[in-house]
Each structure stands twice: as structure tokens, then as C-alpha cells.
Amino acid sequence: MRLVFFDHCILNEIDFSESNLTSVKFDGCDLDRSVFWNTNLEKSDFRTAFNFSIDPERNRLKKAKFSSMGAHGLLEKYGLDIEF
């Protein structure tokens, strides 16, 4: 059961710290400068979201969904140069 569905929203500079966002779908959402810190993102869907930066070491991501293009948002903190 999905509790929250964000559909093509501009969610810039939103602080999602300490939130439970289990099974939330971010469909076509711009998450530029939004903060995810100690956030439960299990089973959430970021496949069409963009401009996000999520630290896998600081958030719960079990079974969360990401596109290959969105992988850079998970690896940004490592300073890697990833080409798609």
C-alpha cells in the first residue's frame, strides 16, 4: 500500500530528515537541495525523480527503486565521475 504519491512536484530545499517515507513514489519530482538524513526510504520509488542526493549510509533504502540515471544521486558524496 502506497501512502503518499508525489506527481511531478518541485520539492526543492525540503528537509525530509527523520521522516518515514516508506513506499512513497516521487514520480517526475525535482528534489534539488532537499535533505534526506536518517530518513526511512524503504520501498520508495525514485525511478523518475531527479536532482536528488541521498547518502546510502545515512538513510534506510532497503528495496527502494532507482533508475540507472539516478544512481549518481546515491554516489555523489564519493566524488565519482560516472557517465551514462
User: Cell triple for residue 37?
Assistant: 538524513
Is 40 inside a domain boundary?
A: yes
In the chain the first and final C-alpha atoms are separated, in Å, by: 33
Q: How high is the pLDDT of residue 1?
A: 53
User: Cell triple for residue 31?
Assistant: 528534489
The domain that holds 17 is classified in CATH as 2.160.20.80
For residues 78 and 20, what is the distance between their CA atoms, to the nearest angstrom? 25
Range of the domain at 20: 1-78
Is 61 inside a domain boundary?
A: yes
Q: Domain count of the chain?
A: 1
Q: Which amino acid is at 74?
A: L
Q: Does pLDDT of 80 surpass 60?
A: yes
Q: pLDDT tens digit string along 21-70?
A: 999 999 999 999 999 999 999 999 999 999 999 999 999 999 999 998 88
Query: Mean of the pLDDT values across residues 69-84?
Result: 83
